[in-house]
Each structure stands twice: as structure tokens, then as C-alpha cells.
Amino acid sequence: MSPSRVAASRLAQQGSDLIVPAGDQRTQTKSGPVILADEIKNPAMEKLELVRKWSLNTYKCTRQIISEKLGRGSRTVDLELEAQIDILRDNKKKYENILRLAQTLSTQLFQMVHTQRQLGDAFADLSLKSLELHEEFGYNADTQKLLAKNGETLLGAINFFIASVNTLVNKTIEDTLMTVKQYESARIEYDAYRTDLEELNLGPRDANTLPKIEQSQQLFQAHKEKYDKMRSDVSIKLKFLEENKVKVLHNQLVLFHNAIAAYFAGNQKQLEQTLKQFHIKLKTPGVDAPSWLEEQ
């Protein structure tokens, strides 16, 4: 072969080679199509896939909810658990009403105690300036100050009652109801995918439908496991909530009753003993120092 032909052959061979910039993921080949190497999944594509799955799940759940409201779809019902949840929601409303009334009572009692203390100070001042009515103003001043002191003690018991019931209603019960909401969402998803699977099983079975049925079965099983877990979680929380509720309310109702009864019976010793029984500490108002009520 002549030198010119050898050079031409080499140039033709070099021309057939694909030149790829550095850092490109493509594999260099001397002939044939360009082969793309496996790339790391694109975050944008992953987000798009998550959005697609979320949209599909939302559509199925919305369809299930509408179907249930129209009376066309079936829903899974745990009668015993549903009854317990209804009772809990009803009790929460009643406890919230008690809480509002107790807070109103506390506000009104605070105003009355504040007025009694001011009235006692006014009587005491007049007792020093009115010699002819010194005794009358004096024992009225002592009476109002004693009433104010007992009122502060009662107010401490009522505020302790309010704080305990508020924790029970707005934290403990609310936490359980959040789990109930998750359980209800899991139930809707479970029924939505159960309905899909039932519809596919009623249709023809061929090469096109069998993969769809298999995929639907897997999704149904996953949501069934999630539903069963949430149902178990709710049952456990309801059980512990009931035990805690009985214990808390028993103590608080005994406190409330004993404090109110001792206050209106004028039994100062019994009123103070009630607070000691429940480990409630009040600031002792001094002559110059303001009471804990005045500091609020």
C-alpha cells in the first residue's frame, strides 16, 4: 500500500472515533450508537414521582370519601373502637365546658378577693381615724381580711384544678385525638385501595390486567398493614388515656369539692389542710409585700 493510502486510512479511522468532553457520562465507542452510562437519579425526577404518587393517592382517597358520603361505597368499621372515639370526643367537649366555667369562677373570685382586701384596708384606715367607731371598723376590717385570705387559698385550689384539667383536655386528650385522625386517614386509604383491588378482580384476567392486579394487591397489603397498626395504636392510647383520666379527675374533683365546702363553711383550718393534702403551696402575703394575687 502506498504511503498516501496509509495516511488516508489512518485519517478515516481517527474520524470515526467519537470525541467526548471530559466529565461527560457517555462511553466512547469507535463505531455504533453512543451508549449512555447509568446516571444517579435526578432529584427533580424523584420529586416529580413523589408528586405523582401523592396526587394519585389523594385522588383515590377523595373518590372514596365522596363515594361514602353518597352512600355508594363501603367503609370498614370497627364498632367498638368507633364507639370509644365518639365518647372521647363528646367528653372532651364537656370537659372544655367545665374548664371555661372554672376559669370564669376563678376570674370572679379573684375580683371579689381583691375587693375584700381593699375594703379591709379601708375599714382599718377608718378604725384609726374614727375613735367613736374604732371597734366597729376594726372587726369589719379583720373580717374582710380573713375572707380575702381564705379567698386566696380557695383561688389557689381552683387554679390548680384548672391547670390539671387543662393539661388533660388540651394535651393528653388532644394527643390521643391526633392519633385518631391518623387512624381515620389510614382507614380511608385502606378502603380506597381495597375498592380498587375489588374492581380489578371483577374484571377480566389477561396478560394486560394481571400485572395491574398484582401491583394493586401489593398496595392494598401495605395500606392494610398501616391501617391495622394505627388501629392498634389508637386502642392502646384510649386504654391508657382512660386510666389516666380517671386518676386525674378523681384527685381534682376531690380537691375542688373539699376546698369549696371548707371555704363556704368558714373552716379555714380545713381549707388549708386541703391544699396541703394536694401539695399546693401559696405565697404568704406580708405586710409590705404584695400577695400572689396582686402580682398576677
Contacts of 98 (CB under 8 A, 6+ apart): 165
How high is the pLDDT of residue 284? 52
In the chain, alpha helices (H): 3-16, 43-69, 79-129, 134-167, 174-202, 209-264, 268-277, 292-295
Is 269 within a domain? yes
Q: What is the DSSP letter of 32?
A: S
Say which residue, 59 or 14, is predicted with more confidence: 59
Is 70 within a domain? no
High-pLDDT (> 70) share of the chain, %: 81
Give how far Cα 260 sits from Cα of 83, 101, 114, 247, Å: 35, 15, 18, 20
Is 261 within a domain? yes
- The domain tally of the chain equals 1
The model's pLDDT over 30-65, given as tens digits with 9 standing for 90+, comes to: 444 444 444 456 887 777 777 777 777 787 778 878
Whole domain around residue 199: which residue ranges?
A: 79-278
Rounded CA gap, 105 and 163, in Å? 14
Look up the pTM and report it: 0.71
Residue 3 has pLDDT above 70, yes or no: no
Is 8 within a domain? no
Say which residue, 37 or 105, is predicted with more confidence: 105
The model's pLDDT over 190-233, given as tens digits with 9 standing for 90+, comes to: 888 888 888 888 888 888 888 888 888 998 899 999 999 999 99
Rg value, the chain, Cα: 39
- CATH number for 103: 1.20.1270.60
DSSP one-letter string for 126-176: HHHH-GGGHHHHHHHHHHHHHHHHHHHHHHHHHHHHHHHHHHIIIIIIHHH
Is 32 within a domain? no
* 246-250: average pLDDT: 93
How high is the pLDDT of residue 186? 93
How high is the pLDDT of residue 240? 94
Is 188 within a domain? yes
The model's pLDDT over 68-87, given as tens digits with 9 standing for 90+, comes to: 788 777 888 899 999 999 99
Identify the CA nearest to 83 among candidates 165, 179, 167, 180.
180
Is 192 within a domain? yes
Is 46 within a domain? no
How high is the pLDDT of residue 140? 92
